[in-house]
């Protein structure tokens, strides 16, 4: 069985257009070496900031106009490393059938079609698979990435494999940047997935099997950060802004007078609810002109409430599931205070409990994690690229990790 694979991955589920190219080499039953050949993340956050959140039609348009230029950047970077993954054949025209297939596929993305014809025709990609985010995310944004991936698949005769974005977040924590490898842990593992659209605890019992332990009943934790940031007049995305103010409040020992609720902290399940917390902040700021210290204190208390709930629920799940390790993934996993508190609270449950986090760069949306998820599956799972590949991939906004 082939142990080395070149994987191109594409991520367009929200407001990051991202591409990556990796070489994965299985070196043992529990380790796959990962060579990051190229990784590009183009954030549209500044464009969306004006709307205070992601504007789907704008995200779609931006992905459509940026994908080909970013692909050319990836090809250039790859060539610069002396890799011969992409070869320029000098061809000026497409085979008639392939041209027609790509044209039909990109019927609703004429700009993307023109860009492909103009800039990518001469290039041949010698890769083993294209990993593409199928969902969850914004469907118009997902569709552009999927159609682009399928067009490249037709152009180069390469299989396209749909990948669940949340699985990418979960697997990103199993990548060790020091060793540049991905490990397969002993199962089960427990995942805390916390992003702008999701808050859930997932149990993974083998590389292909995920089950839901608990989830938010309303807002996701990243969404709560973003909404509270808006209430405090902070720019989008709000997570890093709140985290910065909360850090300053902790450093200066500024403690809020308003005590915010810790929703569902003591319920007998693993579910969450954050919309009441946001409403409590709304009442705390209503009709008031807050000083910068007051904003800091409120941000600090809000972060404290979030971290209390997340640490409490993950520790409780740890006691019941006794996993070999916990992983944390998603944009909110970038939060350093949350990381410290999660480590500390699991240690209190079991002194040698292990918890892995993605690097800061891999916590928020990126294509590298999508390539990692495929590398993980073909190296440690039951199915090959051929079995995982699909000809027709449907963007699925609410795709669940357990499906």
Could you tell me the smallest distance in angstroms from the CB atom of residue 353 to ligand KG4? 23
Could you tell me the smallest distance in angstroms from the CB atom of residue 114 to ligand KG4? 30
Tell me which residue of 57, 223, 52, 53 sits closest to 143, measured CA to CA.
57
Candidate ranges 139-147, 154-162, 222-230, 278-286; the one touching ligand KG4 (CB under 6 A): 222-230
Tokens of residue 402, six digits: 């357990």
Interacting residue with ligand KG4 among 18, 335, 377, 379 (CB under 6 A): 335
Give the torsion sign (CA, 380, 385, 387, 388).
positive
Tell me which residue of 209, 271, 185 sits closest to 402, measured CA to CA.
209
Nearer CB in complex with ligand KG4: 145/197: 197
Is residue 308 within 8 A of residue 265, CB to CB? The reply is: yes
Q: What does 152 bind: Zn ion, ligand KG4, none (CB cut-off 5 to 8 Å by kind)?
A: none
Candidate ranges 86-94, 98-106, 328-336, 374-382; the one touching ligand KG4 (CB under 6 A): 328-336
Is residue 233 within 8 A of residue 285, CB to CB? The reply is: no
Could you tell me the smallest distance in angstroms from the CB atom of residue 182 to ligand KG4? 19
Nearer CB in complex with Zn ion: 166/213: 166
Distance of CA 171 to the CA centre of its chain: 10
Residues with Cβ within 8 Å of residue 251, at least 6 apart in sequence: none
Buried b (16+ CB within 10 A) or exposed e, 193-216: bbbbbbbbbbbbeebeebeebbbb
Positions that interact with Zn ion (CB under 5 A) = 195, 365
Could you tell me the smallest distance in angstroms from the CB atom of residue 24 to Zn ion? 21
Could you tell me the smallest distance in angstroms from the CB atom of residue 365 to ligand KG4? 4
Interacting residue with ligand KG4 among 145, 168, 196, 300 (CB under 6 A): 196
| Residue 239 found at the interface with ligand KG4 (CB under 6 A) | yes
Instruction: Using DSSP, state whether 188 is helix, strand or coil.
Output: coil
Interacting residue with ligand KG4 among 226, 294, 301, 304 (CB under 6 A): 226
């Amino acid at each position: 069985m082939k142990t080395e694979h070149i994987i191109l991955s594409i991520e367009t589920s929200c407001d990051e257009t991202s591409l990556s190219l990796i070489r994965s080499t299985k070196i043992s039953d529990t380790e796959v070496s990962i060579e990051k050949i190229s990784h590009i993340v183009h954030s549209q956050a500044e464009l969306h900031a004006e709307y205070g959140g992601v504007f789907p039609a704008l995200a779609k348009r931006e992905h459509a106009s940026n994908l080909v230029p970013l692909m050319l950047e990836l090809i250039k970077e790859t060539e610069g490393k002396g890799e011969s993954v992409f070869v320029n054949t000098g061809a000026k025209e497409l085979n008639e059938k392939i041209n027609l297939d790509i044209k039909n596929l990109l019927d609703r993305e004429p700009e993307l079609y023109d860009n492909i014809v103009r800039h990518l025709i001469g290039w041949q990609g010698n890769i083993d698979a294209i990993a593409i985010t199928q969902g969850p995310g914004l469907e118009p944004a997902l569709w552009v990435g999927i159609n682009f991936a399928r067009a490249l698949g037709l152009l180069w005769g390469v299989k396209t494999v749909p990948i669940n974005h949340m699985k990418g977040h979960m697997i990103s924590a199993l990548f060790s940047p020091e060793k540049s490898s991905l490990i397969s842990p002993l199962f089960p593992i427990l995942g805390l997935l916390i992003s702008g659209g999701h808050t859930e605890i997932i149990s993974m019992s083998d590389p292909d099997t995920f089950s839901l332990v608990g989830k938010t009943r309303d807002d996701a934790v990243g969404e709560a950060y973003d909404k509270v940031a808006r209430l405090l007049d902070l720019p989008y995305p709000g997570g890093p802004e709140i985290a910065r103010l909360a850090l300053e409040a902790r450093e200066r020992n500024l403690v809020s007078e308003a005590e915010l609720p810790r929703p569902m902290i003591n319920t007998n399940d693993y579910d969450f609810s954050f919309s009441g917390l946001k409403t409590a902040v709304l009442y705390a700021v209503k009709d008031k002109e807050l000083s910068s210290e007051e904003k800091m204190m409120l941000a600090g208390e809000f972060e404290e409430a979030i971290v209390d709930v997340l640490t409490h629920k993950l520790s409780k799940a740890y006691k019941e599931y006794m996993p070999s390790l916990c992983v944390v993934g998603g944009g909110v996993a970038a939060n350093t205070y949350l990381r410290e508190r999660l480590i500390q609270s699991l240690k209190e449950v079991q002194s040698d409990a292990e918890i892995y986090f993605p690097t800061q760069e891999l916590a928020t949306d990126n294509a590298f994690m999508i390539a990692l998820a495929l590398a993980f599956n073909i190296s440690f799972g039951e199915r090959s690229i051929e079995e995982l590949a699909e000809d027709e991939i449907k963007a699925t906004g609410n795709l669940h990790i357990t499906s």
